[in-house]
Amino acid sequence: MTENNHNAAQNIYKPATMKIVDRRDEAPGVRTMKLEFQDPADHELFKETYRTGMFGLYGVYGEGESTFCVASPETRKEYIECTFRESGRVTSALARADIGDLVTFRGPYGNRFPLEEFYGKNLLFIAGGIALPPTRSVIWSCLDQREKFGKVTIVYGARTVADLVYKHELEEWMQRDDVELVLAVDPGGESPDWKHRIGFVPTVLEEAAPSPDNCVAVLCGPPIMIKFTLISLKKLGFDESNVYTTLENRMKCGLGKCGRCNVGSIYVCKEGPVFTAEEVSRMPAADL
Amino acid sequence: MTKILFTDKLDSCVERWRSAGMTVIGPVQRANSSVYDAVKSASELDLNLVLTDRSIKELFFPQSEPMLRYAITKAEINTDEFLPPSGPRIIFGARACDASGLAIDDPLFGWDYKDEYWFQRRNESVIVTIACTKADEFCMCTSLKLSPDSTKGSDILLRPLENNKGWQVEELTDRGREAFKSVADLLQEGSDPAAATVTVPEKFNADACAEWLKNPENFESRFWKEISARCIGCGSCTYLCPTCHCFDIQDEGGSFEGIRRKNWDSCSFALFTMHTSGHNPRSTQSARWRQRIMHKFNYFPGKFSANSCSGCGRCTRECPVDMGITETLQEISKLSQ
């Protein structure tokens, strides 16, 4: 069960109104928006419940709601940041919205990364393409309390240089001496002045060869990348129970009622979206 | 001696309940199908049906439920909430399978987040179930450990008298007792014997099926393709089912004003799980049929300790290609021997 316990008289399907206070183009078709709660009661509830890993349903009335992660960390709850690719009806409407416009948010829902269990451990973050935002929420949640964790390594790859998101933060992480950042683009995706790695994430990860000792890995990316990165992690000696990932599925309610996000018996909206690789391996592969 | 409600007093009961402000609902014939609907007098009720074509679920979880009306300006979003029409209701002449179906879905609509659209109606409804004295070849409540006189989900159970002149009254809940207090003077003490409830033969072994479904090896069995080959994915079985609860949320209207609705949806449809990327975890009809069976007889019981099926048999009775849960579970029963 999640930690959320909403007041019984509340209409659980009614979203909070959010104002777009900032937005940033990350990559072609990919945008980040900074959202501010309009009702202090909604904001209070968010502050009480939000932990890194949880997701929300972002919406535009007339178009509907779309599910994606909260990209901002649990250490910064004054606003919500979300990053999305303009691809369907709702995300296209979100992309048309301007600073000052109002959109909606329902959440935060689901489980979280168990940060307390990561205390004192080395952290390895691995992300591919547009899956950096969910990883970034965990990264900043840890970097904002840096002293509680050991070595921090981030391996991030995208198809092309243009497809790398959060470029300004990559720069910041690159400068920090308490973070090791390994950047890569797929072969052919490099620009003439690209100074970092060229290769697929699993290969780059194996070259970087982080030690599995006292280390937890957080892995987010497209299914094909996850599949091959898990093999590489295994080669490096990581135990599946120390590798965390998030699952995404189509959702309508986010509350365990609309009946579609399950993988086997597991409801991604309530028992997820955060799972260990070991938990995922026990799910029926044909339902993923 | 037991309390008896004689048929000739039913109309006075209906009148009494209605004048006390209750909406009286029961099985009635409508243009193309039989449904549970509001009545003004007992004469409108059709209490001889084995079962209404449509289930009781729509009284609690309507096919399309308006939730919010939105009106948007540059400066604000105004929303009006629609809450379910409130007011006490008495549903007279439910069947045990339908009443059980509601109780089966209560934990689903209540886990962690409480769906007020469901619970407001649940809390304001008295369910008067009539035990079945007839069944048809599709009835299968006994295979689900229920029976034609199950009390699950009911507030009152009526047992038809042998002489067909009325019903023995069994008060099951406070809500039921309260509703029948107002008609106490219309009931009589009597010793008329109740008619025997109908015998519904067991069609499959639910426990054996559950074991088979739980075995991960069977998830990708060829069985799923074979058994579902003729499914046309029309969704009828899910819409008629008293326990199927899947829904969609859709906005009806434009960018500036409109209504957000909760509509019935169905795991039979390909779009149900389709990602924006085009990836679909359940891209074939057989995967979707497997989901339906797994959900009802493996996942749901794992979470809520009850099968998501009360054995009404509508899925099979109304299936345009003559499939249904019965056949699938009968085949699984055979496989698990």
Q: How many distinct structural domains can be found in chain A? A: 2
**pLDDT tens digits for range B233-288:** 999 999 999 999 999 999 999 889 999 999 999 999 999 999 998 999 999 999 99
- CATH number for A92: 2.40.30.10
Domain that holds residue A105: 16-109
Confidence of residue B337 (pLDDT cuts 50, 70, 90): confident
Q: What is the pLDDT of residue B225?
A: 97
CA A280, CA A92: separation in Å to the nearest integer?
31
Q: Quick one: average pLDDT of B180-204?
A: 95
HSE (CB half, 13 Å, CA atoms) of A279?
17
Whether residue A185 sits in one domain with residue A98: no
Which of chain A's residues have a Cβ under 8 Å away from the Cβ of B72? 61-62, 102
| Inside any domain, residue A64 | yes
**pLDDT tens digits for range A228-246:** 999 999 999 999 999 999 9
Test the A interface: residue of B80, B249, B291 with most A CBs within 10 Å: B249
CA A181, CA A247: separation in Å to the nearest integer?
24
Whether residue A162 sits in one domain with residue A126: yes
Whether residue A159 sits in one domain with residue A71: no
Confidence of residue A219 (pLDDT cuts 50, 70, 90): very high
The beta-carbon neighbor of A260 closest among B72, B216, B273 is: B273
Q: Quick one: average pLDDT of A212-240?
A: 95
Q: What pairing do the DSSP bridges indicate for beta strands B23-29 and B89-94?
A: parallel
CA A139, CA A52: separation in Å to the nearest integer?
9
Say if CB B243 and CB B43 are below 8 A apart: no
| Inside any domain, residue A164 | yes
Going along chain B, which residue ranges are E strands? Answer: 2-6, 23-29, 34-38, 64-72, 77-81, 89-94, 125-130, 156-160, 166-171, 188-190, 247-253, 257-264
pLDDT mean across residues, chain B? 95
CA A142, CA A163: separation in Å to the nearest integer?
25
Interchain proximity A257–B274, CB inside 8 Å: no
Q: What is the pLDDT of residue B5?
A: 97
* Token reading at A50: 């939000």
| Inside any domain, residue A190 | yes
pLDDT mean across residues, chain A? 94
- CATH number for A149: 3.40.50.80
Interchain proximity A257–B247, CB inside 8 Å: yes
Residue B303 pLDDT > 50, yes or no? yes
Which residue in B has a C-alpha nearest to residue A254's C-alpha?
B113
Please state the ipTM of this predicted complex.
Answer: 0.91
Whether residue A138 sits in one domain with residue A46: no
Whether residue A129 sits in one domain with residue A97: no
Q: What is the pLDDT of residue A140?
A: 98
Angle of helix A223-235 relative to helix A201-208, nearest 10 degrees, comes to 20
* Token reading at A252: 């309508």
Which of chain B's residues have a Cβ under 8 Å away from the Cβ of A60? 255
Interface residue B252 vs chain A (CB under 8 A): no
Q: What is the pLDDT of residue B240?
A: 97
| Inside any domain, residue A287 | no
To which H or E segment does residue B77 belong? strand B77-81
Interface residue A41 vs chain B (CB under 8 A): no
Q: What is the pLDDT of residue A75?
A: 97
| Inside any domain, residue A158 | yes
| Inside any domain, residue A11 | no
Residue A37 pLDDT > 50, yes or no? yes
Helices (H), chain A: 40-49, 89-96, 115-118, 132-143, 167-175, 201-208, 223-235, 268-271, 277-281
Residue B15 pLDDT > 50, yes or no? yes
Boundary (domain end) residue, out of A224, A243, A278: A224
Which of chain A's residues have a Cβ under 8 Å away from the Cβ of B302? 265
Whether residue A100 sits in one domain with residue A29: yes
Going by the annotation, the residues of the binding site of A are 253, 258, 261, 269
Q: What pairing do the DSSP bridges indicate for beta strands A122-128 and A152-158?
A: parallel
Q: What pairing do the DSSP bridges indicate for beta strands A122-128 and B34-38?
A: unpaired
Interchain proximity B260–A102, CB inside 8 Å: no
pTM, rounded to two decimals: 0.94
CA A120, CA A117: separation in Å to the nearest integer?
8
Confidence of residue A4 (pLDDT cuts 50, 70, 90): very low
Q: Quick one: average pLDDT of A201-208?
A: 96
Q: What is the pLDDT of residue B75?
A: 82
Q: What is the pLDDT of residue B12?
A: 97
Say if CB A103 and CB A18 are below 8 A apart: yes
Residue A8 pLDDT > 70, yes or no? no
Boundary (domain end) residue, out of A109, A144, A164: A109
Interface residue A9 vs chain B (CB under 8 A): yes
Boundary (domain end) residue, out of A86, A109, A132: A109
**pLDDT tens digits for range B85-123:** 789 999 999 999 999 999 999 999 999 899 999 999 999
Least confident of A257-261, B26-30, B34-38, B276-280: B276-280
**pLDDT tens digits for range A94-135:** 999 999 999 999 999 999 999 999 999 999 999 999 999 999
Q: Is B32 exposed, middle or buried (0-12, 13-18, 19+ CB in 10 A)?
A: exposed
Q: What is the pLDDT of residue B120?
A: 94
Confidence of residue A33 (pLDDT cuts 50, 70, 90): very high
Whether residue A198 sits in one domain with residue A139: yes
B11, amino acid identity: D
Instruction: List residues bridging with B171 in a β-sheet.
Output: B156
Residue A6 pLDDT > 50, yes or no? no
Interchain proximity B277–A87, CB inside 8 Å: yes
Say if CB B206 and CB B144 are below 8 A apart: yes
Confidence of residue A9 (pLDDT cuts 50, 70, 90): low
| Inside any domain, residue A269 | no
**pLDDT tens digits for range A56-96:** 999 999 999 999 999 999 999 999 999 999 999 999 999 99
Q: What is the pLDDT of residue B76?
A: 86
